[in-house]
Amino acid sequence: LAKTTQPISMDSYEGQEVNITCSHNNIATNDYITWYQQFPSQGPRFIIQGYKTKVTNEVASLFIPADRKSSTLSLPRVSLSDTAVYYCLVGAGTALIFGKGTTLSVSS
């Protein structure tokens, strides 16, 4: 499974757009890129998944360049409630391997 590298922490203010980049240089052809969000004292929650180009849902957008060696999770106009840990995962199957994630702190 491809190893992922993402920033340990990020700070933002309410109303701003936040972009969290994940590096996965050894991604395999069959691998998908998946992002999860975790609030304190809760289990992770699925945000978005993509294979290439751009994927958008009601919560976020995922940008994947042509070489697929990195991906960027974009959260539009964050609020205080977006303060959480965000995990980038790469793999082809259902077995998820979580890293330490990126702790996003949103301030007013």
Partner 1 sequence: EAGVAQSPRYKIIEKRQSVAFWCNPISGHATLYWYQQILGQGPKLLIQFQNNGVVDDSQLPKDRFSAERLKGVDSTLKIQPAKLEDSAVYLCASSAPGPRLYEQYFGPGTRLTVT
The contact mask relative to partner 1 for 35-64 (x = CB under 8 A, - = no) is ------xxxxxx--x---------------
- CA angle 51/73/15 to nearest 5° reads 150
Q: Smallest distance from the beta carbon of 17 to partner 1, in angstroms?
A: 25
Q: Smallest distance from the beta carbon of 43 to partner 1, in angstroms?
A: 3
Contact 4, 99 (CB under 8 A): yes
Q: Which residues pair with 5 in a beta bridge?
A: 23
Q: Using CB atoms within 10 A of its CB, is residue 74 exposed (0-12), middle (13-18) or buried (19+)?
A: middle
Among 10, 21, 23, 32, binds partner 1 (CB under 8 A): 32
101 scored as a contact of partner 1 (CB under 8 A): yes
8 scored as a contact of partner 1 (CB under 8 A): no
What does the binding site for partner 1 look like in residue numbers (CB under 8 A)? 32, 34, 41-46, 49, 87, 94-101
